Amino acid sequence: MKGHGGDIYAASRELGISADAVLDFSASINPLGVPKSVRDAIIAHLGRLRHYPDPSSVELTQEIARSTGIAPEHIICGNGSTELIYLAARSLQPKRVLMPSPTFSEYGKAVILSQKSEVGSRKSRPRAIQGNEETIIHFSLTEKNNFKLDADAFIDGIKKSRAEMAFICNPNNPTGGTIRKPDMLRIIGASGECGCVLVVDEAFIDFIPRESVIRSVLSNPHLIVLRSLTKFYALSGLRIGYAVIHPDIRGAFLRFKEPWTVNTLAQVAGTAALRDAAYGKKTFEVLKEERRYLEKEFRRLGIEHYPSRVNFYLLRPGNTDIVSTLRTKGILVRDCSNFAGLDSSYIRIAVRSRKENRRLLRELENL
């Protein structure tokens, strides 16, 4: 997992402090922390640990179906959305894949790994994604456009590249840019017409739920939507996510999926989290205030930042030593140099509590 955020354990060992003392802005997690309802549910179900988890995650799947309006037969739960990214590539084994850059690095890794695997039968793959060339095609997002994805240009990229699969992270990690729902629907329609399987990663969509295209899966066998419960509900340590897919390709997913990847406590936690409407309401209130505060301070300090509607910001503070300097103070920020299209002058920070945000800003001001 080198190159990702959230490794408080390595920082703890390096700095000689407890992991709890590390102030982690490198992982974009809800600043409210784990909901009390989830903590209570976990404690109440500790007795289940002597048993294997439900291999089909039935209770969690039913709660996802209730909260999304999607029938259970369209839903597959996984060990975070990252497992499902790899499962999509492994199950469908595309040979030409289009993805924006910069974006989440695991898409490319999953595709490369699937190409190296010899376990897949071509007969098990939909005709739409059979091909010969082993290629990842990068669709570059430009700084002058605030790294915003242009829907028409991306559609043109799908057509010209003859991509068998395309990935879109919406909202995009690490830029924070969001594709509006009407534009996403145009991309979905065009990719289906081209026979290209579109994987839309909505790991952060809970922060702006109106932009979700999850229901479009019901009528489109070329669309896969991935969701995560770890970001919005601060459950990264339990790893919970799910895929919404069309029945035409669900069978391929299930043939390649390992058993018991969603543990008992993760299933309990996810079910409790989805039922906690009050937690969601409080989250929107806190993030609205903290984003307003951070953006005001970024402007005051002259720190270049890019538009974001979620719980993190891409910054360009102009100091390439900033990651290591903050680390010595027990503060982690995300070094963006390993994202295609970015370099060490960019960092990503999470939106945290007011006290924590103040401390980060104070350190940035003193650098």
**Amino acid 4: pLDDT:** 77
User: What integer pLDDT is reported at residue 131 of this predicted model?
Assistant: 38
Per-domain residue ranges for the chain?
8-34+277-366, 37-274
Percent of the chain at pLDDT > 70 equals 94
From the CB of residue 6, how many other CB atoms can be counted at a distance below 10 Å? 16
pLDDT score of 320: 74
Could you give the C-alpha distances from 175 to 76, 353, 360, in angstroms and in order?
28, 21, 19
Whether the pLDDT of residue 242 is over 70: the answer is yes
Per-residue pLDDT, 115: 82
Asked if CATH classification 3.40.50.620 holds for the domain at 37-274, the reply, yes or no, is no
At residue 123, does pLDDT exceed 80? no
Q: What confidence tier does 363 reach under pLDDT thresholds 50, 70, 90?
A: very high
Regarding the domain delimited by 8-34+277-366, which CATH topology (the fold level of the hierarchy) does it fall under?
Aspartate Aminotransferase, domain 1 (3.90.1150)
HEC secondary structure over 323-361:
HHHHHHCCEECEECCCCCCCCCCCEEEECCCHHHHHHHH
The three-state secondary structure class of 58 is helix
118 pLDDT higher than 60: no
Q: If pLDDT is split at 50, 70 and 90, which confidence band does 99 have?
A: very high
Packing angle between helix 277-301 and helix 354-366, nearest 10 degrees?
A: 20
- Model confidence at 121: pLDDT above 60: no
Name the nearest CA neighbour of 282 among 14, 30, 13.
Answer: 30
pLDDT, averaged across the chain? 93
| Per-residue pLDDT at 98 exceeds 90 | yes
